[in-house]
Structure 1
């Protein structure tokens, strides 16, 4: 209409600079700037577990172990991922404060769940070999290795009454495949552990878990989902069960994927209801630990 930028800004109630940016095309159809996020949430959880094993490791050590788990990244990315940001810490603290007075009986009504990755090789110490001095480089004293060992992804659930059936996941998990897991493994877990009693389901904030269609699935099935703070593996007792299973696998030393799966199932089946109840009973202490740490990660 031939009006000046000042006249336009006064008429629509915004700043003249905003009008200028719009007219120059700078605010129209802008593409997202910056690099694409180079790690997944699952990869970030792996890094946190590495850090929790030894809080005094250097960035180089953390990056090396994270790379060996299958995540290629820089030292700068490692540094950014290690610490919770202020917003996440505040949400953890708020969540813990809300749950501060929950009893063990209330936590016993929660069905906790999680996915975990199991690799054919465990640790980074390598295989031990019997050899004499000077035989270090002999071919028969060397063992080849692969950069990315064969692995399987597993979904599981637990409550104060014990564990449910495991699901070995094929391929990447999206909303549709996750809902299949819920249908064929979560519901049987709930039936086994709770029968006809009511329960609350817990899972983290992975994209497949937070999808709108997944939320509708829970609504359609009449299942209450526990609100959960981001980046909080220390609040999920099933993480301790994964550690128990992985420690047992070090003794089993499977050589094939079938052997690995069988060993995982055997280790999972050996977990007792008493072990699960003790972990659920630790929830009030975990909550207090988060409050005492003002939202920072805890020893759990």
Structure 2
């Protein structure tokens, strides 16, 4: 965002929309998909600076949401975010907790989002949300996210999952460079 000289220009409606929209983009949502399966959405606020997720928050999510809802055959796919326990040195509390809770998991590097099927679903939801225009209130944004999640069909989920072998092949052909998905 850039600042224009003068009070009126700085507080023009377009600048105010941008400020409010940026605030709304800090909503955290956890959702689960699998072949022929779509779980509930869970909204949460992190206890870190600006509502960011910290390890204590992630441990609570693992205990309260992931462990009770998981299917024994499911694998939790995580990105390389710090609270997921993929960074740092010394004993890893997050990995120990996942073992204790019996959660099977694998890490998906943050620079490979195309290899995680839920990212395809989030992309669909984000595109649908953009067509609604700017949403100013957090409660309205949460409701809109929930509505778009509810509109996601099992066919869309299965299609996202079924493309994974092609995505891996494309990644291999391109020697790890970005793929067109």
- 1:214: how far off? 0.8
Match of 2:13 among 119, 143, 146: 143
**In structure 1, what is the Cα distance between the partners aligned to 2:93 and 2:68?**
21
* 1:280-295 paired onto structure 2 within 5 Å: 280-295=161-176
Q: Secondary structure at the match of 1:165?
A: coil
Match of 1:251 among 124, 131, 135: 131
- 1:188: how far off? 4.6
| Cα gap change, 1:163 to 1:143, in 2 (>3 Å) | same
Q: Which residue of 2 aligns with 1:179?
A: 59
**In structure 1, what is the Cα distance between the partners aligned to 2:139 and 2:35?**
30
Given the two structures, how large is their TM-score scaled by the length of structure 2? Answer: 0.76
Is the CA contact (8 Å cut-off) linking 1:167 and 1:181 kept in structure 2? Answer: no
Given the two structures, how large is their TM-score scaled by the length of structure 1? Answer: 0.48
**In structure 2, what is the Cα distance between the partners aligned to 1:164 and 1:270?**
13
Q: Secondary structure at the match of 1:298?
A: coil
- 1:189: how far off? 4.1
**In structure 2, what is the Cα distance between the partners aligned to 1:207 and 1:232?**
16
**In structure 2, what is the Cα distance between the partners aligned to 1:199 and 1:243?**
22
> Residue by residue, what CA displacement relative to the aligned partner does 1:22-61 show, whole Å, maximum 9, x if unpaired?
xxxxxxxxxxxxxxxxxxxxxxxxxxxxxxxxxxxxxxxx
> Residue by residue, what CA displacement relative to the aligned partner does 1:229-267 show, whole Å, maximum 9, x if unpaired?
451111111111111111221333333111100000111
Count of aligned pairs: 157
Q: Which residue of 2 aligns with 1:153?
A: 28
Which 10-residue stretch deviates more, 151-160 or 239-248? 151-160
Q: Which runs of 5+ in 1 are unaligned?
A: 1-66, 69-138
Q: Which residue of 1 aligns with 2:75?
A: 200
Q: Which runs of 5+ in 2 are unaligned?
A: 3-8, 46-50, 87-91
**In structure 2, what is the Cα distance between the partners aligned to 1:217 and 1:265?**
29
**In structure 1, what is the Cα distance between the partners aligned to 2:35 and 2:106?**
16
**In structure 1, what is the Cα distance between the partners aligned to 2:150 and 2:77?**
21
**In structure 2, what is the Cα distance between the partners aligned to 1:182 and 1:153?**
15
> Residue by residue, what CA displacement relative to the aligned partner does 1:168-187 show, whole Å, maximum 9, x if unpaired?
23111111101112222223
**In structure 2, what is the Cα distance between the partners aligned to 1:199 and 1:188?**
12
| Cα gap change, 1:230 to 1:256, in 2 (>3 Å) | closer
**In structure 2, what is the Cα distance between the partners aligned to 1:258 and 1:249?**
14
Match of 1:277 among 154, 158, 161: 158
Q: Which residue of 1 aligns with 2:177?
A: 296
Q: Secondary structure at the match of 1:226?
A: strand
| Cα gap change, 1:227 to 1:145, in 2 (>3 Å) | closer
| Higher CA-based Rg | 1
C-alpha RMSD of the superposition: 2.3
- 1:157: how far off? 2.2
Q: Which residue of 1 aligns with 2:37?
A: 162
Q: Which residue of 2 aligns with 1:224?
A: 104
